[in-house]
Every structure is written in C-alpha cells, then in structure tokens.
Structure 1
Amino acid sequence: MKFAVIVFPGSNCDVDMYHAIKDELGEEVEYIQHTETDLSQFDAILLPGGFSYGDYLRSGAIARFANVMSAVKEAAEAGTPILGVCNGFQVLLESGLLPGAMKRNRDLKFMCRQVELQVENNQTMFTSSYEQGQVITIPIAHGEGNYECDDETLATLEANNQIVFRYHDANPNGSKANIAGIVNEQGNVLGMMPHPERAVDDLLGSADGLHLFQSILKNWRESHVVTS
C-alpha cells in the first residue's frame, strides 16, 4: 500500500506521519508537496497537522486553494482513504470535504496533552481494528479545535453514524457534542483533531493510534484480494 503525506508551507507534523507509516506500519510512503496536481498513484492520502500558510485568515483557509487540494478532492470522490489530522482536519473542513467549522478553543489557550477518546463507530475503514465503545489515549496539540456545526448538521452526523470519535469524560476544547473526529457520508474521509501518528508506540505514551493506520491497511488489503 502506498501513502501520500501532503506537505503545505507551515506543516510540522508531516515527519511524524511519515514515521508512523514507514517505521511503525511498515508501508510505502512519500512526501507530496502542495504544488502537485496528481495523486492517482497513491492508495491513501494523509493531511498532517501544523500551521499551513501560517494559519492566516483562519486555520486551513488558504491551504484549501493549494494545487494539491483539487487532486485530494478527486481522490475523495473516487473513494480513496483520506485522513486529515489537526490542521489537516481544518483543511478538510475549509475545503468542504467535511461539514462544520473550527473555532478557537473554549479557554482561548493552546492545548498539548494526552486525552481519552471513545470510539463511536468502529465500522469505518479507519476504525475497524478498534472495539465499539473502546476508550483510547491519543494526544492533542491545538489552539483551534473547537468543532462547531448547526443543529441540522449535527442531526445528520448522528443519523448517519458519521461521528467516529468523541472526547471521553472531559471535553478539552468545547467541541460541540464532544466531537473529536468525523467522516464524510461516503465513509472514506476522516478528520480528527487528536494526533494518532503521535501514539504509535508505547514509548510515546500510547500505541492506540497505530490501530487506526492498521485499519486503513487491513481494509485496503481486503478490498484488493484477488479471487479466482
């Protein structure tokens, strides 16, 4: 399986994402610059965290216009797995690939610590290696992770089982309905504020994030099984 890690000016979690795929998952991965226009050779696309374009205007607001995002949208329509983490989630929201928006954290402070998440839907290509309702430990590092949407959008997310992760017990940023991660209706685009790529080895404090990448790989392999 071949992964692409998209690199925008200001990305700073691209190396973490690359390490998670190459060294922990053991799969092929390449850095892809924001100027690229063709992602057809990749089986999964990863949008890492950071401060794309300095977070000017709003987080992800300028990155949505990068050349590579047209290719990301084409891949999304084709069913390619796409994961946006932290700033990557913000870019997916600004690009319209996921519904809703991000606001400043409730306490208007940058937060960087471990949090507990509950797996709300383990029937996605990103979560099939988890148990339904499982509580996992994943770090956060953001100043604008307060997810917001209108009540109609929230009702749709609930009805379609698109809420994949919720903050468990404590909501660190004020995110609506404790939402930490959502998928699109097709189920192949996941955006989440916590950083699974920083939780791929027990030496880092948790290996719970590795199961997310293992789920992507498992589902890709199952979909590419050649039957006689």
Structure 2
Amino acid sequence: MAHSEEMAAARLAARASAITDTRYALRAWFRRPSELLPWVGLSFVVASILLLGTYIVSITAIPSGDTGSLIAADPSARWSDVAFILGRNLTVLLLHLMVCFATYLVRRSLPIQADNLSGAQRWIHRHAATPALFLVIALTLYSIVQQALGLGHALADISARGDMSQAAILVRLLPHALPELIAVFLPLAAAVWLESRDRNRDLLAAVAACTLIAVPVVIASAFVEVVIASDFF
C-alpha cells in the first residue's frame, strides 16, 4: 500500500472511531448526567488549590502597585468590563478544552492511526503518545502556576491600596470566582478523570460536554462579577 493510501486509511479509521465513541458517550451522559459529577468535584479541588496558591503568593509578594484595579470592587464597571472578563475567561477555557482535545489525539487517535500504518510511520504514531502527553501535562501545570502568580500579585496590590486583607478580598470574590474557576478547569478535570479510568475514547465527547456546561457558567460569573459583586465591597 502506498504511503498516501496508508495515511488516508489511518485518518478514516480514526475519524470513524471518533464519531462512534463521541455519540455513544454523549448519549450515555445524557441519560445519566450524574456521571459528570466527579469531573465537577475534581475541578473544585483544582480551583481550591489555585485559590490557596493565590492567597499564599499574595501574602508573600511585595506590592508593586501596577497590576490594575479590581473590577468586582469598582461601582463604575460597565458592559465593556463584562466583555473584557468574558474574553479573558473564555480564552482560558478554550486553552483547557484544547488540552483535553490534545489528550484525545495522543491517547486515542494516534494509536488507532498506527494500526493502519507500517514502518517508521507506525512506530512514530505508536510511540508519540507518551511524550506528547507529558508535554500536555507540563503546559497545564505551567498555566496553573502562572495564574496563581498573576492573581496573587494582583491581590497583594489591591490589598495594599485598600483597607481589606487578602483573605477578606478572596472571601468576597468567591461567589463568582469559584464557579468561574470550576467551569474553566472542567475540561482538565474531565481529561484526568477519564484517563485515570482508561476511558480516553470518551475525551472528545468530554470536550463537547464541558463546552455546553462551562460556557453558560462563565457568562453568568462575568455578569455577577461586574453587576453584583461590587455590592459586597
């Protein structure tokens, strides 16, 4: 079989498997939505770790005074601020969805394609999954650390400019920040949960399910942050 024909057959096999696996998983989750609750719980744990890391950074960082203002504490916040928050959080969500999708590619799609290839192409597709997965994990951890550092320094600056402690500010932010973080980390939680149970065939369906769940929560959280949260400060 020619190289181009091998590649075409491999891609068709991977595509057919993706469609079948995704349809089956989405139908099962629609009948039993409680199966998604472990994702939410794990995402809550990740969000809590990020908030704890943010607090630790905020109490150890030296305020610099150049990280901007807190939109949630600004009574003059406008709809343009809602758009700004939505853009930021949806970008983070998209990155995490891409991590989930990339995990599907390296753990499910590439091995399926390898079964239809030969020679060097077969070896590359068969052995690329592990290093690619480590790269995905490294990028995810980097993202979490960077967010904790950025949010922590911002919190330190805001506390230094006002009369509230870092802990008091965090408590006031929780009504919108916690659901928001759970939503944006949901794809990562889904990927970890499904991988831990050797269900990488469901990862593509998880991308669709997480999008349907997380996007409305992110939108609602942005509205609460701008319109309602200022009443708590």
TM-score when normalising by structure 1:
0.28
Larger radius of gyration: 2
Higher RCO (CA-CA < 8 Å; seq separation 6+):
2
